[in-house]
Amino acid sequence: MRRTLLLQLSVVLWLLLKGGFCMAMEIYSNAFTEGELIPKKFTCDAEDISPQLSWQGAPTNTKVFVLIFDDPDAPMGTWDHCLLYNIPAHVTELAENIQTLPAGTLEGLNSFGKRTYGGPCPPDKIHRYYFKLYALDRPLELSPGISKKELEQAIQPHILAEAVLMGRYDRPR
């Protein structure tokens, strides 16, 4: 009995230290909802601007966020559309067609070879696009322009919570 209680208290303490006992972190957009088609204006077939993104429910001990936007259905393997890291913890929204990133935010190198947003541009069929948000317990000591592989390796020991928004797009032919 006493051992069970001690174990339960240990779990509660661990969850508190890791930022637990808060609502689940969520990411969403006013441009589309989970599983819906991403509007054309956010793709290479139109304006190719970034959609508005908002999030809530991050653990209280979050220091920064990381946003990875990718397409796992690309013919040559996952295609990276945007990598943002060290987004300050007080930021809970990125505006549509964002031109100036929040102070301290860095951009990684996407599969287009650029440090910017590159919208959906599937060559063959309908694709799924994932906006993956991670809450981290500390800022990352990384230079601008890193790859997604480097970013994913760096965040692994520091993830407190994550949230995903998936949209789809089928390029007109």
Q: What is the pLDDT of residue 10?
A: 52
Model confidence band, residue 173 (pLDDT cutoffs 50, 70, 90): confident
Q: Which domain holds residue 150?
A: 19-169
Per the structure, how many domains does the chain have?
Answer: 1
Q: What is the pLDDT of residue 172?
A: 80
Q: What is the pLDDT of residue 171?
A: 85
Asked whether the predicted pLDDT for residue 23 surpasses 70, the reply is no
Please state the rounded mean pLDDT for residues 30-54. 97
Has residue 151 been placed in a domain?
A: yes
Domain containing 161 — which CATH number? 3.90.280.10
Helix ranges (DSSP H) in 69-173: 148-155
Name the helix (H) or strand (E) containing 157.
none
Model confidence band, residue 6 (pLDDT cutoffs 50, 70, 90): very low
Q: What is the pLDDT of residue 8?
A: 53
pTM for the whole structure: 0.86
Beta strands in the chain (DSSP E): 26-28, 53-56, 64-71, 79-88, 93-94, 106-107, 127-136, 159-169
Has residue 95 been placed in a domain?
A: yes
Asked whether the predicted pLDDT for residue 11 surpasses 90, the reply is no
User: 154 phi and psi, to 5 degrees?
Assistant: -70, -35
Has residue 10 been placed in a domain?
A: no
Has residue 4 been placed in a domain?
A: no
- Segment among 10-24, 60-74, 125-139 with least mean pLDDT: 10-24
- What percentage of the chain reaches a pLDDT higher than 70? 87
Q: What is the pLDDT of residues 111-167, one digit of tens each?
A: 999 999 999 999 999 999 999 999 999 999 999 999 999 999 999 999 999 999 999
Name the helix (H) or strand (E) containing 5.
helix 2-17
